[in-house]
Structure 1
């Protein structure tokens, strides 16, 4: 474990203090999962390393809820940690707000690249809406400016990258 912690620290994974918004928490989880993949961590190691990165309010939350999430004798799994973390830092109202932002997203005065960047950012919060490649491409296409959208429809483009590249 000592060697694993040293390797993990060298990757400079971010700390999480529990303050900030939904996107900060999501980014923290994404960065941790990249490190875990590189290091080939077990479920229990993932929990241990994630907890090591908690600071301030987040560390206080963990100390107060650890025994509820993992009662004595219970194996620590990453899935259980993620579920508890999401329950704390991804409130239902915050998720609904991001879903609403995603649903209202359209290109407007943005360039296609700016629109795509915002689409990618918000789609992280609505995975079920974009998990199917055709739905993802259709949703992206439908948010384009009307003239671009009609061109994409007339070209019968179906793939997300295909539509993005052509737009």
Structure 2
């Protein structure tokens, strides 16, 4: 009987307490990550439910939440549609607390027609197998296709030609704000205007 007790005591002494601390810390991290994932899923479900409820009820107080539904993008028409679409998506991402991969997944879900065909054809080149999906990489490729350098240059030229003319101050201010996003360097560094 004495031998058995000594054996147990020796087994405990031989075990490194630092290893126990590392294992406990890893278990706590795993539990925390699980709780965070559950909270994120609950937040997304809650935001989606609120948007759906607002859309069904047509309640004025809930109309703002219904706007959470970002628009679909088909890749046709006005080149300004691409940056507007990205801007709407980024607002939704912020409200929903999306991860990088979730941002790409939601964006791809909203692509239709020409834009969806483009994505199917280029997805493998943009994100080769085993590559992490990031919003920065997706949006860079998206802009390369749907908001070309020539379209950016046309908008910059339009900004540079902007004059109040017959517009009211409010109309001019709105047009300035709309076009200024295509000339961020000129806004940030006015000395570049020359």
- How does the TM-score come out when normalised to structure 1? 0.74
Task: Report what 1:61 is aligned to.
Answer: 118
- CA 1:2–1:58 in structure 2 vs 1: closer, same or farther (change >3 Å)? farther
The match for 1:96 among 149, 153, 157 is 153
The match for 1:116 among 155, 162, 173 is 173
- CA 1:8–1:125 in structure 2 vs 1: closer, same or farther (change >3 Å)? farther
More RCO (CA 8 Å, sep 6+): 1
Please state if 1:78 is matched with 2:114.
no
Q: Distance in 2 between matches of 1:40 and 1:31?
A: 14
- Contact kept in structure 1, 2:72 and 2:110, CA below 8 Å: yes
Count the aligned residue pairs.
135
Structure 1, unpaired ranges of 5+? 140-167
RMSD value over aligned CA atoms?
2.1
Q: Runs ≥4 in structure 1, deviation > 3 angstroms? A: 1-10
Structure 2, unpaired ranges of 5+? 1-39, 52-67
Per-residue deviation, 1:131: 2.7
- How does the TM-score come out when normalised to structure 2? 0.64
Please state if 1:38 is matched with 2:103.
no
Task: Report what 2:26 is aligned to.
Answer: none
Paired residue secondary structure (2:80): helix
Q: Which of 1 and 2 has greater Rg?
A: 2
